[in-house]
Amino acid sequence: MTRIAINGSKGKMGQTLIEAVNLNENVDLGVGLDKGDSLNNSLEDFDVLIDFSRPDATLNALSICVSSGKAMVIGTTGFSDDELEVINQASKDIPIVFAPNMSIGVNLSLKLLETSAKVIGQDSSIEIIEAHHRYKVDSPSGTALKMGEVVANALGRDLADCAIYGREGIDEPRDLNLIGFSSIRGGDVVGEHTVVFFMEGERVEITHKASSRMIYANGAVRAANWLHNKPNGLYSMQDVLEL
């Protein structure tokens, strides 16, 4: 039985994670942690830590997990390139599942996007549109960026060179090599992502819509159970789902 610790347990996502753990017969809730609680004092209570907090809090927890040899599932988004490198280096010492989106449906969509990009991407204008609730502070979302990365890699491009975020003041014709991003924030939208491949005379759209945080929580719990006793390394939900 995998014992799970949840960082940020009193937040909306933390509460949903607790519910998902309680509904899964293969795992136990070892400890729930929130502001003011000490992870160092709870190391004997869990095997895998799930963290959906903020980059600074996640990296602090990661440091403790590395020093104590605990596995970690990271669903936090908004990391800088330097912070991503910290996670990468940490994976040499502990097993980590790191994914901007733990949803099974989203990760299936990533596989579909890879296939679509290889078949029609070179002849398409590609746009990624995402919508989230008004409290989400980073944009584009980590999921949107991951979708862009998957498409760019399938086309042999570097997303850093071909991404465009907004078009104010741009009056040049649409460059086929670019991948556009648009972000919408408002209300209580859990998460919606659409990738559009615009071709002459037709277009293909791949959309995922989330109506409950439970899809992310269930995926994270599944990842935590899968990760227990795995070798050190950096894993994705594609690994967890064997996609």
Cβ pair 181, 163 in contact under 8 A? yes
Q: Give the pLDDT score at 169.
A: 85
* Joined tokens for residue 193: 């992502």
Mark residue 69 as left, alpha or beta (left: phi above 0; alpha: psi -120 to 50; beta: remaining): left
Q: Give the pLDDT score at 35.
A: 86
219 in the same domain as 139: no
pLDDT (tens digit per residue) in 94-137: 999 999 889 999 999 999 999 999 999 999 999 999 999 999 99
Confidence check: pLDDT of 239 > 80? yes
Q: Give the pLDDT score at 200.
A: 96
Q: Give the pLDDT score at 31.
A: 96
Confidence check: pLDDT of 64 > 90? yes
83 in the same domain as 11: yes
CATH number of the domain within which 54 lies: 3.40.50.720
Q: At what angle do helices 214-227 and 104-120 cross, to 10 degrees?
A: 90
34 in the same domain as 66: yes
End-to-end CA distance of the chain: give it in Å, rounded. 25
User: Domain tally for the chain?
Assistant: 2
Q: Give the pLDDT score at 65.
A: 98
112-139: b (≥16 Cβ within 10 Å) or e? ebbebbeebbeebbbbbbbbbeeebeeb
pLDDT (tens digit per residue) in 3-50: 999 999 999 899 999 999 999 999 999 999 988 889 999 999 999 999
| pLDDT band, residue 153 (cuts 50/70/90) | very high
User: Which residue stretches of 44-128 are H helix?
Assistant: 55-68, 81-90, 104-120
Which position has the token pair 């039985």?
Answer: 1
pLDDT (tens digit per residue) in 179-224: 999 999 999 999 999 999 999 999 999 999 999 999 999 999 999 9
Give yes or no: 92 in active site: no
79 in the same domain as 24: yes
Q: Give the pLDDT score at 36.
A: 83
112 in the same domain as 42: no
Q: Give the pLDDT score at 228.
A: 95
139 in the same domain as 119: yes
For residue 116, what is the DSSP state?
Answer: H
124 in the same domain as 92: no
Give yes or no: 118 in active site: no
111 in the same domain as 70: no
150 in the same domain as 125: yes
Q: Give the pLDDT score at 167.
A: 85
Q: Give the pLDDT score at 77.
A: 87
Mean pLDDT, range 46-59, rounded to an integer? 96
CA distance 74 to 92: 15
Range of the structural domain that residue 202 is part of: 104-210
47 in the same domain as 62: yes
228 in the same domain as 195: no
Q: Give the pLDDT score at 227.
A: 97
CATH number of the domain within which 120 lies: 3.30.360.10
pLDDT (tens digit per residue) in 68-94: 999 999 999 889 999 999 999 999 999
Confidence check: pLDDT of 170 > 90? no
229 in the same domain as 142: no
- Among 35, 70, 132, 228, which one carries the catalytic annotation? 132
